[in-house]
Chain A
Amino acid sequence: MSTIKALVAGLCASILVGCGQGEVKHFDANEYPQALSDWGIIELQGTQLKVNDSAVVYELNTALFSDYALKLRTVFMPVGESANYHPSETFDMPVGSIISKTFFYPKDSEGRLLTTNTWQGDPKEVSTSTHHLVETRLLVKQTGGWDAISYIWQGQEAYLSITGKLQRLTLANNKQLNYLIPSRNQCASCHATNHTTKTIRPIGIKARHLNRASNLYQANQLTHWQSKGMLQGVTRPVEANALWNDESASIKHRARSYLDINCGHCHNAEGAADTSGLLLDYEDHPKSAMGYCKPPVAAGSGTGGRLYSIVPGHPAQSILSFRLDTDNPAMMMPELGRSLIHKEGVELVSAWIAELEGECI
């Protein structure tokens, strides 16, 4: 086997063009390579973004809003190993697993970034002649647990960044975007979903996010993972979050799904934002904990002068709508990961609050 790999590697080294499907490599935490391509997961070949054949591309139902960036997600597990299913928690994945998420934007002829989306999720459609690559984040499962690192694209390669970076990008409307590439510790700000244990976990690798059809593989993603031997122990029924813009789903389901992925990593019973007493993950909580007529605890100017997180029927009086509808870092939610307002997200959450019934005294 190793001889074959060596031969293939040798072949790649000599030909390269048209090959590009080398081995995915695993590195220990103190040996992370400077160049993303060393991992073998994802790289640029010419203008074309290439994903290793042994990695599986996946999508989420509603995803975290990240300044309108598009995201190409891949998951790799060592050959012969698989993840263990859990109905509500992040799947337990084998050591050696690597998850990648590449953030990019379509660009216009002048290189300005577009916030409109026509991409259908196929990596073959991602080319640097029509897209601007920003960063690729990796979650790497070591023996001690998950590790989060980020690579910043610069020309043909992406380079490891421990401290993160504030990138000033220009949008098609000529507005500036202060895009924050997270530092290593900032990765934990979201991925340590249990803020007491501070254990880093993938956020999207949950049944409710993955349970959807894959455009790329023409199958339900969980079924596809099972058929590839990547997932075991699936029990049904499987929860599914809505796509936030799927008008066939109820506004309630879409809004709860949106809050779950955008807020629930901190606003859960063990999360960093449990200090606020406001729980926005897709679990059953008392209404007041979900924000109904709940006064803020330490929101500062983030209240926007409003009295409750949610005033049923009145989004314009609800702190939740205010904090989504501002780009002031002192007031906005989430605190990290965006510098623009997701107008469509604000509209969805506001539409949900508008249809809620009840009264705050």
Chain B
Amino acid sequence: MTPLRLTHFTATSCLGRGLTATLQALLQARSGLSRCHFETVELPTYIGEVAGLDAIQLPPKLQRFDCRNNRLAQIALMQDGFDAAVRSAAERFGPSRVGVYLGTTTSGILTTELAYRHLDENSGALPEDFDYAGTHNSFSVADFTSRQFELAGPAVAVCTACSSSAKVFAAAQRMIAADQIDAAIVGGVDSLCLTTLYGFHSLQLTSTEPCRPFDLQRDGLSIGEAAAFALLERGPAQDNAAAVWLLGTGESSDAYHMSSPHPDGAGALSAMRAALNAAAVAPEDVDYINLHGTGTPSNDSAESRAVTTLFGRATPCSSTKGATGHTLGAAGALEAVICALALQSGLMPGGLNWRERDPQLEVNYLSANRRGPLRRVLTNSFGFGGANCALLLGRAA
């Protein structure tokens, strides 16, 4: 594929709002996870919560989109100069030539969960002010984002569970390659809700402590929330050295089980291989891998097998979910932004909460930050239903 430039990018997660706060937390090896006190949830687990969402106001003309998920999107869209970059792209290319491709799993379903506590006693009806399309529907955040910038190009939510906002890069790339658009807002937004907290608990996949990806004693994930965005455009062949490029994307399906990965990581392997092939890059030319690394016993062992099969045991890799939690539909985009920061700052973030090596996991797992020049990094995202996606990012395409 022809490389595309991430001309602007930004993220908000439990690590903080914006790129500076995110990079600082990574440099300091600080986790944003805390004991779960979300809403009325009573579960023995840790979460990565974004503080201050209750105080966020959406623009007056977009009030019908008001929900936790779109408030989180609003924060991220307005920081790090991202909104100005989008407006400039819309001016340069025209509003119909800028697409919106966003990943989410639960959208604003928290609003629906709370509304079900207030059904009309006689009729069973939802409260009058409940707005289905503005909050509940998966498209809400993409619609909200498109309207925020008065865009008139294609807009869609990609909803492939925890690979959603990695796959948006692939979908947008295809539309740019097919010359249907010149630029795309890609990203992911997912926010805390009862469905995912109680749902992952029901599958016995949540840890009772801050998640410990790739650790011998890992026993589950910590759920987080995040909004992460990038602006994808074609770029000039010669560019400044700090520019970050999308070099390759790879997608596959496990065809194995709805909520467990293929034990050998067969689907993960073919997604990573496809991303390298798309970029014509050899495995030894990848300097760092940001793992999906959820901290569940099955994910990490399957992913480790897939990585060692393709890369051997030397390529440095880590999961940043010990810092951010698993932000589900936002994880792909959040980790793409972390990889972009890694490329620019020469930081391979060490995986947090790691204590003891699991002899079954043979990858070169970084348990502490490492510095060094990075040219190409890979990030993995795998979702329920066996939906896999790997992205290859790099400098100076």
Specify whether A and B are partners: no
